[in-house]
Amino acid sequence: MSLNIAHIISYFRDNPDPTSRYIADGLEWLMIGVSGDGSSTLLPSWVPSKNWVTDNAPLPRGYIGGFQLSQNASDSSHDLDITLGECRDSTDAVNIELAAPWPGKSNWTKKFDAVFAVGHNKGGNLNGNLTADTYHLFVIKRDSDNQADIAASTSVSCSNRPDGWTYFRRVGSLRTSGTAWKPFFQQGDEFFWKTPYQHSATIGSTASGSQLQAAMVPTGFKMRADIHLFMEASPSPMFFSFVGADAATFVPSADNNTITADTDHEHHHIRIAPLTNTNAEYKVNFSTGVSTSAVFYFHTHGWIDNRGKDA
């Protein structure tokens, strides 16, 4: 293998950001130090060195590994840490790898109270700043040099990503409270609120019917909500069925329901996991037998997000 070391050094002099990478003859090179005269020490990226000729075979459709999100300890309201990872892009055209910003670094940090800028510890918000909304986190890939980065957008298709970054993959979706991230933690495809969100709702006002109920999960994509609910006893038999938003509307009965409320059931505590629609809603079918209603207390603990695996 013949390498033009002078050309590689010249590249890093022109691109002094420590996240810069140069691919030559199939080997990926990183700048690991700069001396006083501007020369650079170059080594293959890390052990084992990444060989883009032999190691860049297409990943399986929908594959994603890594990209675990967590709130940064220094600024948990605005900054996120993202573990290294690799995935297939949303169109199943290319692989995307979020490599270490420098050898030995196990994650990236991005600041989402600042407009997107390329690199670790730089801005990550394609909308400019956080507002009360759902934000989708994407790994994006630059066409010119395969550089990957993390960006957040309120667009489900990352439509406001910079020019020249064709390929992307959603790695998670989060909600904010005003201008700050709602406190959460992640394990694989499961996301958990650090404190469950409680709300109450009155369900049923006719003898039977259905209504959509909102969950405290991200909007924009279908999620499997993790909800614990409580209902007090009712003086007359009432049947409720909690199902996915796209499920059929039907009249629950004594033999086909999620929860029965009557004088023989004084308190009701159950856990449900309905599939939401893109508005973070699921369906409640009810049969009260009379024109009455019931008050439920919901605690949303978190959600499961397949992060594009079914694309």
Asked if the structure places residue 254 within a domain, the reply is yes
> Do residues 207 and 299 both lie within one domain?
yes
pLDDT at position 149, please? 97
> Do residues 199 and 289 both lie within one domain?
yes
The model's pLDDT over 9-53, given as tens digits with 9 standing for 90+, comes to: 566 566 666 555 655 545 555 555 544 444 444 443 433 344 443
Percent of the chain with pLDDT strictly greater than 90? 60
Asked if the structure places residue 234 within a domain, the reply is yes
Interval 231-247 mean pLDDT: 80
Q: Residue 119 has which token pair?
A: 């690199």
Domain count, the chain: 3
Least confident of 86-90, 144-148, 203-207: 203-207
Boundary (domain end) residue, out of 164, 185, 206: 185
Asked if the structure places residue 53 within a domain, the reply is no
Least confident of 57-61, 77-81, 152-156, 293-297: 293-297
The model's pLDDT over 184-234, given as tens digits with 9 standing for 90+, comes to: 999 999 999 999 999 888 776 666 788 899 999 999 999 999 999 987 656
Question: What's the mean pLDDT when you consider all of the chain?
Answer: 84
Asked if the structure places residue 27 within a domain, the reply is yes
Asked if the structure places residue 263 within a domain, the reply is yes
> Do residues 158 and 75 both lie within one domain?
yes
Boundary (domain end) residue, out of 185, 218, 235: 185
pLDDT at position 76, please? 98
> Do residues 216 and 114 both lie within one domain?
no
Asked if the structure places residue 54 within a domain, the reply is no
Least confident of 7-11, 51-55, 63-67, 132-136: 51-55
> Do residues 170 and 219 both lie within one domain?
no
CB-based contact 69:137 (threshold 8 Å):
yes
Interval 76-90 mean pLDDT: 97
Domain that holds residue 224: 191-304
> Do residues 180 and 149 both lie within one domain?
yes
Instruction: Considering only residues 200 and 273, tell me which one the structure prediction assigns the higher pLDDT.
Output: 273
pLDDT at position 124, please? 98
Give the residues across from 275 on adjacent strands.
224
Least confident of 74-88, 97-111, 153-167, 232-246: 232-246
Asked if the structure places residue 50 within a domain, the reply is no
> Do residues 86 and 170 both lie within one domain?
yes
> Do residues 157 and 195 both lie within one domain?
no
Residue 290 pLDDT more than 50? yes
pLDDT at position 48, please? 34
pLDDT at position 35, please? 46
pLDDT at position 129, please? 92
> Do residues 40 and 22 both lie within one domain?
yes
CATH number, domain containing residue 237: 2.60.120.340
pLDDT at position 46, please? 35
pLDDT at position 179, please? 95
Residue 284 pLDDT more than 50? yes
> Do residues 249 and 177 both lie within one domain?
no
Residue 145 pLDDT more than 60? yes
Residue 153 pLDDT more than 80? yes
* Pick from 252, 257, 188, 198: nearest CA to 224: 188
pLDDT at position 258, please? 84
Percent of the chain with pLDDT strictly greater than 70? 75
Asked if the structure places residue 57 within a domain, the reply is no
- Half-sphere exposure in the Cβ direction for 238 (13 Å, CA): 31
- Half-sphere exposure in the Cβ direction for 19 (13 Å, CA): 20
